[in-house]
Amino acid sequence: MFTARTLAPLRVAARTQPSAFRGALAIRSISFWGNVPQGPPAILGITEAFKADKFDQKINLGVGAYRDDQGKPFVLPSVLEAEKRIIDRKADKEYAGITGVPAFTKAAALLAYGADSAPLKEDRIAITQSISGTGALRLGAAFLERFYPFAKTVYIPNPSWANHGAIFKDAGLSVEKYRYYNKDTIGLDFEGLIADIKAAPKHSVFLLHACAHNPTGIDPTEAQWRSISDAVKAGEHYAFFDMAYQGFASGDTDKDAFAIRHFVKEGHEIALCQSFAKNMGLYGERVGAFSIVTSSAEEKKRVDSQVKILVRPLYSNPPINGARIASEILNDSALNTKWLGEVKGMADRIISMRAALKKNLEELGSKHDWSHITSQIGMFCYTGLKPEQVKRLAQEFSVYGTADGRISVAGITSKNVRRLAESIHKVTSS
């Protein structure tokens, strides 16, 4: 233990020794992290601004989590029932295997690919539990970086979820963009999308949002998906799907899986990332899955072995609680039926809020065409608002959204939709 008496000689030595000695002592006080730059503000910055606002009728349209019509977080009754059953069984807390809870991954694959899926029947799908959709994407990116035999470049839609580019780049992949959003029509740039797929080098990797495109809410039609599949196949490209909203988009889990199932039926050996954050409300439980369709059961075994090798040094094995909840819901017929009804209820509320916002804007006499609000789907809506209009919404009306005009429709309620419409009308009329 150092005391004033033991430290005194050191202080004298520091004063009397040559400058080199004093410099050596000074070096020890330099921070190792002094060169770390401040990162840019994220979506969470919107939440902080919202919290600091004292206006009692403020509206937060920034963060992508479902809210009920009272603006409150919603825990699904099916989730509560599943949790109760798990507790009553007094299940242990042992580690899951490297690829997760088997009953969950089997059910997740069935939900995505469908009971009549040939690769599923033929045991050609390698699947692992992941740390929600983000973890699935990161694991998939690592697999591509290590094993994809062609150019390590991933094409993502412009725009895409903000984290997509970061995930692929951090895994060592290059990222390019393909056309997706037409700002003039506030709709899909289908011609540009197809042209970019055709122009890409052979064997390129294309990230595709299976449903409820984030951030635009603009999805291809089924006919357009068929054309996209044909273009991907013609270029011998690889389809990498992100499906974070199955069931949450239309209210129908089969309809929302159309693109996945069509691509697989057409012979694409896709990669798929699934999340159960939105459709089960398991945000903080971090429940997801990553799967790869292979050409044979033997190839599946090899792919599965390498996925395990990737997982082991990352996090060893995934958490069990959320996977057990999802497994209980997916594997119990009565509970599954209840959950499907709840998913449809959430989707229907989002759809009804879109219709109400459009109706109120029209009733207020807005001269703008707001049809895109109801033609888009899912939690997010690309409003077409300009950055300066979004800024005015926050500063003058306490309505908070992202600078690109994206709003989370889940933040709209029957109580605030009129005031939201009035605020939008005011900033778009002057």
Q: Which residues are catalytic?
A: 161, 242, 278
161 C-beta neighbours (distance < 10 Å), count: 22
72 C-beta neighbours (distance < 10 Å), count: 9
Instruction: Report residue 195 CA to chain centroid gap.
Output: 26
Pick from 166, 161, 231, 225: nearest CA to 197? 231
Whole-angstrom distance, CA of residue 1 vs CA of residue 233: 72
Helix axes 321-331, 333-363, angle to 10 degrees: 100
Task: Give the angle subtended at the CA of 262 by the CAs of 117 and 78, to the nearest 5°.
Answer: 65
Structural element, H or E, at residue 238: strand 238-243
Helix axes 258-265, 102-113, angle to 10 degrees: 80
Number of H helices, E strands in the chain: 19, 13
Structure tokens at 118: 């040939």
Q: In this structure, are strands 174-179 and 399-400 parallel, antiparallel, or unpaired? A: unpaired
- CB burial readout 39-62, b (16+ within 10 A) else e: eeeeeeebeebbeebeeeebbbbb
Using CA atoms, how far residue 266 sits from 57, 211, 232, 303, in Å, is: 51, 18, 11, 21
Q: In this structure, are strands 287-293 and 125-131 parallel, antiparallel, or unpaired? A: antiparallel
Task: Give the angle subtended at the CA of 270 by the CAs of 267 and 274, to the nearest 5°.
Answer: 135
Using CA atoms, how far residue 166 sits from 77, 173, 237, 239, 366, in Å, is: 35, 10, 22, 19, 39
Residue 136 in 3-state DSSP?
A: helix
- CB burial readout 198-210, b (16+ within 10 A) else e: eebeeebbbbbbb
Task: Give the angle subtended at the CA of 244 by the CAs of 189 and 97, to the nearest 5°.
Answer: 145
Pick from 370, 373, 425, 357: nearest CA to 397? 425
